[in-house]
Structures are given as C-alpha cells and as structure tokens.
Copies of this chain bind each other. A is one copy, B any other.
C-alpha cells in the first residue's frame, strides 16, 4: 500500500496528524511556516484526502444524484450539461441514475440513496410514477431535493420547469393560424405533470379560437413501434388530423415516419410542431418547427437551488417554482401551403 495519508505525512514531517490535517484545511491555528512545510510535502507526494473518511466524519458526501427517466434524449443530456456547469466549482460529484420510465426502479433508487451516499438529489419523475410517496418520504427526512421538468407540483419541493402550458397554447395557436382545423395532441401516456400542462395549453387554445374540430388527445409510449402503429391508425381515420402538436420530440419523429409511409406530405397535408431540443431539427425534411426548452439553464438553475438548500442558505419554505421560458421556432413543417 503506497497510499499516502495524513499519518504518513505527519511522520515524515515530525508533526501530529491533527496538525497536518489543520494545515491542509488552512486552519488559523497553524503557523504559516508549518502550513507551508505541510503543503509542500503534500503536493510532492500527491496527497489526496480519502473521501470516505472525510464523508464519514463530517457526515457529508460532496456528491449529488441526478435521477432521470432516460439519457438518450437531448433534453436530459443538456440538463446534465447544465448541472455539470455548477458542480465542479462547488467541489461536488455527480451520480447518474436512470429509471427507464419505471416507477419501481425510481422508488428503489431513492430508497438506495437514503444512507448518506449523497447530499441531495435532482429528479425528473418517470411517466409511470403516479404515487409520490417515495419522493415525499425523502423530503420529510429533510434531505435536499429538487424536481425539474417532470415535476410534482403538489409536493412542497422546489420545481424547476418551463412555461409548458403557455408554449403549448402558442404552438396550438400557431397551427390554427396556419389553417389547421383538426389538431391532434400527442402526449405521453401516464399522468406526467408536463403532459398535463401541455395538454391544458392545447385545450385552452382550441377553446379560445373555437374554429377547430374537437380535441384529439393521443397517448403514445416510449416504444416506437407501438407509436407508429397507433399513428397509422390515427392518420387513416376519416377525421384525419391536419395538424399535430407533439409534446415530446420522439413523437414528432414518429409522426414524420408515419407520414412518409402514408405519403402524407408535411406540411401540405399535415403540419407538425413539437417540443424538441434537437439541434438538427432544422435539417429535417421538412425542417421541423420546434419549441426549444432551456434545458441547459434548467439544469444549471436546478443545481444552484439544490446547492442553496444543501448549504442551508435557503430553508423551507423555499420559492417553490422557477419557470424558465421556452422558445417557439417556426420552420417549414408548419408553413402555409403554397
């Protein structure tokens, strides 16, 4: 074991372990000269304090957990990027956990982390999560917790999200203004907060303009082949949609695929607008009109709030909601028929 630890440093310097520890933590009760001696040797030997010993003693892990449904998703990747823009400067480490949209996994992960492994968690709930007891249990035990994007507004916990309903309204309004009258809403099956907010925006736009056919709410899944089958059926109805508002990027892709198969040209026969953080949306055939969420900012701000709670600079009750606005980019997929 050539591991260098405090004891070895102390022996080498003829000092007590406690002195070395204090010197490295820049304690005021150590003279500048000894501090310098200690630091020099520590640097020379490449001393790195054992994090488990520190964590055990100080009862803090300098680690946070990020729990998300999936990672093959631009939105969540960008969120992680945003989180990582904060953590290193705070000296924190980031554990990643994937629920794969499975409530049981989500519950188990939260249970697994109830032992001091992390100082706080950031979570975006799975679409199969209907019971929020596991999250509330975490909150009640006083552990720092922040929800983002897929939030649970009924819980007394900080929520960082975008203006889903407003943007859904705008997207639907956009389709209406481009002449659509049979507008379908493609939402995620389950009881997700974002789906509900986006659905509400969609409905209120239809309500306000009163020119369109009744709402068509279509619930899709995480499985492409199921979605394609369902959309196939939808686009063969006599009241076939002439406009599609996809609440999830993947569903817009599914729509493109099915429209291509059914030879329904976009935007002539069907116009499409979607929540999406895909950089390449502008290169689609046709270019996809998107609502871009500030994913990076959501991650960054969620991390900032979590650290405020961890550092006790923010106590309950916190400012519960933080809403970062999205942006609607109009492209060819919702162009007027020429």
Contacts and interface: CB of A to CB of B under 8 A. Distances in A.
Interface of A: 2-3, 46, 48-53, 55-56, 61, 63, 70-74, 77-78, 80-81, 84, 93-98, 111-112, 114-117, 141, 253, 256-257, 278-280, 282-287
Contact of A115 (B49, B80, B94, B286): B49
Nearest to A70: B81
Given A93-B95, A283-B284, 15 more contacts: A46-B111, A48-B114, A51-B52, A52-B52, A53-B56, A56-B56, A70-B81, A71-B77, A71-B80, A71-B81, A72-B77, A72-B81, A95-B95, A95-B96, A257-B282
Q: Rank and list the top 6 A-B pairs by shortest CB-CB distance, nearest first.
A: A285-B285, A48-B115, A52-B55, A52-B56, A52-B52, A51-B117
A74 B279 CA distance: 12
Contacts of A72: 74, 77-78, 81
Contacts of A115: 48-51
A49 B116 CA distance: 9
A61 B73 CA distance: 29
A63 B97 CA distance: 12
Contact of A116 (B52, B63, B78, B284): B52
A73 B77 CA distance: 8
A75 to B, nearest CB: 10
Contacts of A48: 111-112, 114-115
A95 B98 contact: no
A111 B256 CA distance: 47
A51 B51 CA distance: 11
A256 B285 contact: no
A301 to B, nearest CB: 18
A252 B313 CA distance: 46
B96 A94 contact: yes
Nearest to A54: B52
Nearest to A48: B115
A178 B76 CA distance: 38
